[in-house]
Amino acid sequence: MSLPNRALRAIMLLCGLILSACAHERINRIKPFPPGSHSAIQPVARMDYDWWAPRQEQVLERVRQGNVGMILIGDSITHGWDGETELWTKCFARRNAVNMGFGGDRTEHVLWRLHNGSLEGISPKVAMIMIGTNNSNGDDNTAAEIADGIVAICREIRLRSPETKILLLAIFPRGEGPSAQREKNARASLLASQVADNKHIFYLNINDRFLGPDQTLAKDIMPDLLHPNHQGYVIWAEAVDPVIARLMGEDGAK
C-alpha cells in the first residue's frame, strides 16, 4: 500500500536534509578559525588606494556577465598577467578566465573580496591561488598565520562554490638567495598544503622552475627578485597548463 502524500513528503524532506548535512560536513572539514585570531584571516578592504575599488568593480562587472570557467586569485604577481596579453590569450582566455590578482593584496584582502561578490552567481571549474608573500614582510605575520589565511581562502571558495576545484600554488620564491623571508613563505606554503585532498583542493609547488641548482633566483626571470618578467610567466604557464587542463576535464588532458 502506498504511503500517504504527507508521509511521503516528510520522508523526502528528511532525505534531503541528510544529504545536505553530509555535503556541509565535507566542506567543513576545512575548519573555520576563531574570530579575531590574527590579521591574516580578518577580511579587510583597501579603499585607501584609489585604484583598488575601481579594479574590484571591474572584476565584479566581468563576474556579473557570467560564463566564468576559471579564476586566478592573488597579489601583484597574479595581477601582472594583465600585461601578458598574448600569453593570457593562449593559456587562459580560451578557458574564460578572470584575473582576480590585485597588486599589494594580502590574504585578508582576498577574503574581503570573496565576501563581497567575487564568486556571486558563478561556479568556475578551477580557481588558481597564489597568495601570501605580502603577509611575510618583517613581523607582519608568522608562517602559521599566513597558512591560516590561505586555508581560510580555500574554505571560503569551497563554501561559496563547492564544485570549483582549487589549484593551490606554493608562494613563489623571492630574493636572490635563501633568506628568512623565503623560508617563512616556504613554511607557510607547506602548512597550507595540508588542506589539499586531491579531490577538491590540489597543491602544486613549481618553485624549482624559477631557481638555479644553488637556489639562486635569476634576474632574467624575476628582475626585481619578486615579480616575473615575460620569461617568468612563460615558466608559470607551462608548469600549470597540463594540471589546469586535467582539473577542467579538457579533452586529451593527462
The residue from 227, 230, 241, 251 that is catalytic is 227
Q: Is 76 a catalytic residue?
A: yes
- What integer is the mean pLDDT of 105-128? 98
Q: Which residue has the higher pLDDT, 7 or 208?
A: 208
Q: Is 224 a catalytic residue?
A: yes
Residue 6 has pLDDT above 90, yes or no: no
pLDDT tier at 31, thresholds 50, 70, 90: low
Domain that holds residue 12: 1-30
Total count of residues recorded for the chain? 254
Residue 158 has pLDDT above 50, yes or no: yes
pLDDT in tens, 212-235: 999 999 999 999 999 999 999 999
Domain check: are 20 and 86 in the same one? no
Domain check: are 119 and 11 in the same one? no
Whether residue 101 contacts residue 126, with contact meaning beta carbons closer than 8 Å, is answered with: no
Structural domain total, the chain: 2
Residue 107 has pLDDT above 90, yes or no: yes
Query: Is there a domain that residue 253 lies in?
Result: no
Q: Is 241 a catalytic residue?
A: no
Domain check: are 69 and 15 in the same one? no
Looking at residue 29, what is its pLDDT? 41
- What integer is the mean pLDDT of 48-77? 97
Q: Give the chain's mean pLDDT.
A: 89
Domain check: are 44 and 136 in the same one? yes
Weakest-pLDDT range from 8-12, 51-55, 207-211: 8-12
- pTM comes to 0.86
Looking at residue 13, what is its pLDDT? 46
The residue from 76, 109, 197, 200 that is catalytic is 76
Query: Within the chain, how many helices (H) and strands (E) appear?
Result: 8, 5
The residue from 140, 224, 230, 241 that is catalytic is 224
Domain check: are 57 and 11 in the same one? no
Domain check: are 239 and 209 in the same one? yes
Query: Is there a domain that residue 194 lies in?
Result: yes
pLDDT in tens, 181-202: 999 999 999 999 999 999 999 9
Q: Which residue has the higher pLDDT, 10 or 246?
A: 246
